[in-house]
Chains A and B, each alone.
Chain A
Amino acid sequence: MNESKSNLERVRAIIRSQYFWGIVAIFLLLLINLIKDPSYLNLSYNPTTGAFVGNIIDILRAAAPILMIAVGVCLVIATGGIDLSVGSVMVVSGAVTMEFLSAANQPDSIGAAALAILLALLLSTVLGLVNGVLVAFVGLQPFITTLVMMLAGRGIAKVITEGQNTSATNEPVRWIANGYAFGLPVVFLIAVAVIVVVSIVVRKSALGLMIEAIGIDPKASRLAGLNRRGLLLTVYAISGLLAGIAGIFATASVMTVDVSRTGYQLELDAILAVVIGGTSLAGGKFSIGGAVIGALLIATLDKTVLFLGVPSSATPAFKAIVIIALCLLSSERVRSLFRQRRLTTPLTPKETVPS
């Protein structure tokens, strides 16, 4: 009895590890796809383009924007806040890029591309800063602040493009989303690089510690002399910047910004990715690695839905079911419910003695 219990504990400890179920879910989804089509995981090398081709590569490419916003939102959530505006900041960034490029009309110019990207990222960061100012200095609720920004952002994008879906041609920007380097999609490599940089900055500077501290206990952190406002400002700005990068990724693949669909509801994907990664919405301890797993899972899920041919009208429901199942599995309360049932079941017959 005791031995089996300690084994159980051990298994439970593994299961409880933060993003264990996220990884399991990714493998399960891949397995389902593999059952439907045994060649699903095949990779082929295309010597003319110097690139690997396959479903996995597609997933990685699709994951890039979600990875960006998931990491940004992860930091915001760690401070005890939330950022609902990332999807809208994406469309603003995309709109700036496309509008600038279409006006510049220099299909091969790296300069134009760099300027467009710089402008887009600048505006995205400013939007993030606005969120930060409203939360940190004005003292508005993060939920309300970023909800307003979510609505305003799409409006700003429409103003920039005058309500049109703007297309542009620019080879360097296109290359970012569709090109290959070292056999892998450029967009994925950039995403990885950005995540590595953010992780290093957060974990090697004192930023991570401070974000955690203000997320866990704002009052005690204030008394410890932390600059809560400055930290909030930084974090919302980072989230805006990363959403800007995501917006460029999302629009560059088709070289069109669709003002009503680019980044639409992606904030929800980002939040889900963070939660799947084991970061509590209550703030405090956070895991960028977890958010990455979460983002990869969401990208896998999106591709699986397409691959299985789930009717587009049923897609949200399918996605919801998978995510709910995942959240339930990782919820402490549901687990303790199972535990309790296991404990009480043998007792019930005794208790129901007829009176």
Chain B
Amino acid sequence: MVEAVAPAVEMVGMSLRFPGVHALDHVDFTLRSGEVHALMGENGAGKSTLIKVLTGAYPADDGELRVQGARRDFSSIAEAQAAGISAVYQDVDLCGNLSIAENVMLGNEVRSWRGIDWRRTRERAHATLSELGLSSLDLRTRLSDLSPAVQQLVAIGRATVVHPRVLVLDEPTSSLDDREVAMLFAVIRRLRDSGVAILFVSHFLEQVFAISDRMTILRNGRNVGVHPTHALDRAEVISIMMGKDLSTLRRLGSERVVHRREPAGLPVLRAEDLGRRGVFEPTKLELHRGEVVGFAGLRGSGRTELARLLTGVDRADSGETWIRDEPVVISTPRTALRHRIAFTAENRREEGVIGELSVRKNITLSLQALRGWTRPLSRRERDDIVERFIEELGIVPADPSVLVKNLSGGNQQKVLLARWLAVRPRVLVLDEPTRGMDISAKVDIQAHVAQLAAEGVSIVFISSEFEEVLRLSDRIVVVKDRRKIGEISNGPGLSVDSIVELIAADAGED
């Protein structure tokens, strides 16, 4: 009977181009009523784009969208909602200063000739939440007084008020702890059993395996596989997501570097129980002089978060840190800078270089911050430093007065690297320093990293490309679902495969 009915959503040959990117490339996709369907893929694989096309936020360039068998062309979110498609996004888009009832019913208030009929509006809110098993909530509570998990549930309540046939959940669990996730899953199952088609997007592999019935895997805007969840194991999913056949991954690993050494003596930086609730589980971490420590994990696994906690970009709420044997508090990038701990962010345009400033000013910014405004670099010192790094790192164009926004991504990254090298860092944390670069620029950056380690800098290297992490690192910290699941010494026996298997084998704590 299920097969006879048209699927809740069907996409055929869906395509969408952004300048320079094929965000969706002829994607076929089917979502059935009464299933939880996981949409998998690394960041940038096209998951968000697919959701936005489905919910009417983006118009597709090409392709066909059918909802319950009827062809649709949504030109707005409202149209998609009218057709029974509701979405709940990662960042709860509710109003913190309104009550639960108001939030649930916003835009769907029951009206009478006098305006909004609050009594009946509240009744309907109550009815909706009861269907989700949330009848215990006090409807008059202000949303901001609730925990993130309950807010997330209210957001789902809001999405189900209109009795959608399709519910999209985009990273609904990213700010929840295990117990709260269980609560959410109960609600999701209840909705599924009532016949709603649920599209579930999450970075947390274990949750996907726990809740979903089928999955569609995207890579570079293409659909690279539709599978029943129970038919795949975790390693297979990862290898499909990353686009590497397991045997190829196995082979790639054996090119192991020789410069590895056993960490000895006092670590340069040591952190115990470093963590932040909902961001990263408390973790121990040691960085030694002249050592490259790789953070490996899928995008969204928490490796960036760990780096940001370590360098004071985001404030940790637990843990202690030592530099050699001296306890330190690293609560801001500024205090990190004072201890010569540098961090280059993943999104270098937003959190790295300042595009409207020249190469010269960008390179000297942190050194200047370290010296304070009253002790400006003399023109001579400044030009020496800038010229030296432009030459050493091979920044093109070699013109210090050019605005950084006009440089290529690789050269922007080098400017950022130069900024931190200018302060002679003890610890250098590089988050995706080679992302979006062509192969020669990548190799260039990798060579500089190896060189720096040889000079005694302690380096944290984060990359989505496990090969790269393997090639450079002495030690690899494996991260999954916002916690450290293991630490491996690099060596000839280690391959990309071992990391993938480690990630896959870890079945979480639940």
Contact of A225 among B345, B355, B370, B373 (CB under 8 A): B370
Any chain A CB within 8 A of the CB of B452?
A: no
Q: Do the beta carbons of B350 and A210 come within 8 Å of each other?
A: no
User: Besides the contacts A223-B345, A225-B370, what 4 more A-B pairs have beta carbons closer than 8 Å?
Assistant: A210-B373, A216-B356, A225-B338, A284-B356
Q: Do the beta carbons of A227 and B334 come within 8 Å of each other?
A: yes
B377: nearest residue on chain A (CB-CB)? A206
A residues bordering B, Cβ < 8 Å? 204-207, 209-210, 212-213, 216-217, 219-227, 231, 234, 284-285
Any chain A CB within 8 A of the CB of B371?
A: yes
Any chain A CB within 8 A of the CB of B326?
A: no
A223 to B373: give the CA distance in the assembly, Å: 17
Interface size on B, residues (CB 8 A): 32
Q: Do the beta carbons of A207 and B373 come within 8 Å of each other?
A: yes
A222 to B351: give the CA distance in the assembly, Å: 9
Number of A-B contacts (CB under 8 A): 76
B residues bordering A, Cβ < 8 Å? 313, 332-334, 336-338, 343, 345, 350-357, 361, 364-366, 368-377, 419
Contact of B369 among A205, A212, A227, A284 (CB under 8 A): A227
The A contact surface, by secondary structure, is helix
The minimal Cβ–Cβ distance linking B345 to chain A, given in whole angstroms, is 6
| A205, A209, A212, most chain B CB atoms within 10 A | A209
Q: Do the beta carbons of B354 and A205 come within 8 Å of each other?
A: no
**Contact A210 to B369, CB < 8 A, known contacts A223-B345, A224-B333, A225-B336:** yes
The minimal Cβ–Cβ distance linking A219 to chain B, given in whole angstroms, is 6
Q: Do the beta carbons of B373 and A222 come within 8 Å of each other?
A: no
Could you list 25 examples of A-B contacts with CB < 8 Å? A205-B373, A205-B374, A205-B376, A206-B371, A206-B377, A209-B357, A209-B364, A209-B368, A210-B369, A210-B373, A213-B357, A216-B355, A216-B356, A217-B350, A220-B352, A222-B332, A222-B334, A223-B313, A223-B333, A224-B333, A225-B334, A227-B334, A234-B373, A284-B356, A285-B356
Contacts of A205 in B (CB 8 A): 373-374, 376
Q: Do the beta carbons of A223 and B354 come within 8 Å of each other?
A: no
Q: Do the beta carbons of B373 and A206 come within 8 Å of each other?
A: yes
The minimal Cβ–Cβ distance linking B52 to chain A, given in whole angstroms, is 25
A210 to B369: give the CA distance in the assembly, Å: 8
A234 to B371: give the CA distance in the assembly, Å: 17
Contact of A222 among B333, B361, B375 (CB under 8 A): B333
A206 to B373: give the CA distance in the assembly, Å: 5
Contacts of A219 in B (CB 8 A): 350-351
A223 to B347: give the CA distance in the assembly, Å: 12
Q: Do the beta carbons of A220 and B333 come within 8 Å of each other?
A: no
Q: Do the beta carbons of B369 and A223 come within 8 Å of each other?
A: no
The minimal Cβ–Cβ distance linking A233 to chain B, given in whole angstroms, is 12
B338: nearest residue on chain A (CB-CB)? A225
A220 to B375: give the CA distance in the assembly, Å: 22
Contacts of B376 in A (CB 8 A): 204-206
Q: Do the beta carbons of A226 and B334 come within 8 Å of each other?
A: yes
A343 to B373: give the CA distance in the assembly, Å: 49
Contacts of A213 in B (CB 8 A): 354, 357, 361, 365
A213 to B345: give the CA distance in the assembly, Å: 17
